[in-house]
Structure 1
């Protein structure tokens, strides 16, 4: 959808975004994407999950290296 159409048909744009992302173009190139609140929340959750996992793995590796003898003793 062009930026002009998005401006002139804002209500329609909002309805379209409820079912699928809508790309907004200006001069033939994408300048924005409108998504539903549910889609946005899902994208935020995916993004947060990617950031947390490496941090957790890093903490686990540091803990294992610091307490290696304790973990080996417990494993016996």
Structure 2
């Protein structure tokens, strides 16, 4: 991952955009990370990965069945 200072990013914004097409660009201010610029493709991949189910479909099905069968128990415990 490339790194650039906030001042350089401001002065060379077009170059930062070009760099982001190849790899994420870390922007630093006073020695700490303040932003990361990524390409639209990389952003889409990240959001798709985040939206993917974290639990396998079979486990989700089993949980739904369990909730359905034990609904009255869960409602009683919730009171």
What is the alpha-carbon root mean square deviation over aligned residues? 2.0
Cα offset for 1:22? 0.3
Residue deviations 1:23-70, cap 9 Å, x none? 000001110000000000000000001xx343953453231562xxxx
TM-score (norm 2): 0.70
* Residue 60, structure 1, aligned to residue 51, structure 2: no
Corresponding pairs, count:
64
* Residue 40, structure 1, aligned to residue 43, structure 2: yes
Gaps of 5+ in 1: 67-76
Gaps of 5+ in 2: 70-79
TM-score (norm 1): 0.73
- Consecutive aligned runs of 4 or more in structure 1 exceeding 6 Å deviation: none
The structure richer in strand per residue is: 2
From 4, 7, 12, give the equivalent of 2:15: 12
